[in-house]
Structure 1
Amino acid sequence: MNVVFSLDPLTVVQFVIAFVLPVLVGLVTTRVSGSSMKAWLLAGLSLVTSLAIELARALSSGEVYDLGLALFAALPAFVVSVASHYGLWKPTGTSAKVQSVGVTENNH
């Protein structure tokens, strides 16, 4: 019996991006932006990331673009993004700090 442990580099890139997507959403939204708008933006960015990663995989390997895989991969990427937001970025105050970038005291 042989055991192999391998990681697809593009999958790793996708999940690293998913981990930092909540911070990027915080940069482009404001404190007054609704949480549902932020969630939809995060879901959309997760989908775009998955589609782009699958495109990169298809182009680099010369294989057919697998839309089903790209769409399916968006779901765990979104889950990783939400988990990283509530598990790390929000409790450490990173989310609030990122959303205040470029805001002066007079604009509060």
Structure 2
Amino acid sequence: MTDLPIYGFRPDLGGLLGLAVTVLLPLAVGLVTTRTTSAGIKAVLLLGLAAVKSVLEAWLQAVNTGVSFEAVPVVYATAVSFGIAVAAHLGLFKPAGLAAAAQQVGARDRRPQPAPLD
């Protein structure tokens, strides 16, 4: 059975690195979306990134330890990662203005703008 990092009191490098990546996922979403992107699309993108992160962690652990890859722990880890990422966004990045700053740095709205009326 795959033993994914549990975000508790395990100060090993893998757990801390996984937690750091999870906390930074909302900023990654902000870099690739615009302010006009709907919250639903941003949430699905965040869930997708959490899933990719969890699958990569489980795959790397399976390769490094020789255990089999199992989907159920990956689904659980994805849900936990998504919850932590949402909490980091709402509790840290949004109030501090980092979420808005990431969106200004990242993707731009590519729709043509109307010419000014002079």
**If the TM-score is normalised by the length of the shorter chain, which range does it land in?**
0.7 to 0.9
Question: Does 2:105 match 1:95?
Answer: no
Question: In the TM superposition, what are the counterparts of 1:57-96 in structure 2 within 5 Å?
Answer: 57-96=61-100
| Count of matched residue pairs | 100
Distance 1:70 1:10, change over 3 A: farther
Which one of 34, 37, 40 corresponds to residue 41 of structure 2?
A: 37
Question: Hey, what's the Cα distance between the residues in 2 that align with 1:88 and 1:56?
Answer: 29
Q: Distance in 2 between matches of 1:8 and 1:62?
A: 19
Match of 1:21 among 25, 37, 58: 25
Task: State the one-letter code of the partner of 2:100.
Answer: A
After superposing the two structures, state which structure 1 stretch, 42-51 or 10-19, moved more. Answer: 10-19
Match of 1:52 in 2: 56
How far apart, in 1, do the equivalents of 2:16 and 2:34 lie?
29
Of 7-16 and 51-60, the range deviating more from structure 2: 7-16
Per the TM alignment, residue 13 of structure 1 is displaced from its structure 2 partner at its CA by 2.5
Once the 2 structures are TM-superposed, how far is the Cα of residue 10 of structure 1 from its aligned partner?
3.0
TM-score, normalised by the number of residues in structure 1: 0.84
Greater Cα shift, 86-95 or 65-74: 65-74
Tell me how far apart the structure 1 counterparts of residues 64 and 101 of structure 2 sit (CA, whole Å): 38
Report the CA distance shift for 1:10/1:66 in structure 2 as closer, same or farther (over 3 A). Answer: farther
Contact 1:10–1:57 (8 Å) recurs in 2: no
Gaps of at least 5 residues in structure 1 are none
Q: Which residue of 1 aligns with 2:5?
A: none
Identity %: 35
Q: Quote the offset at 1:81 in angstroms.
A: 0.2
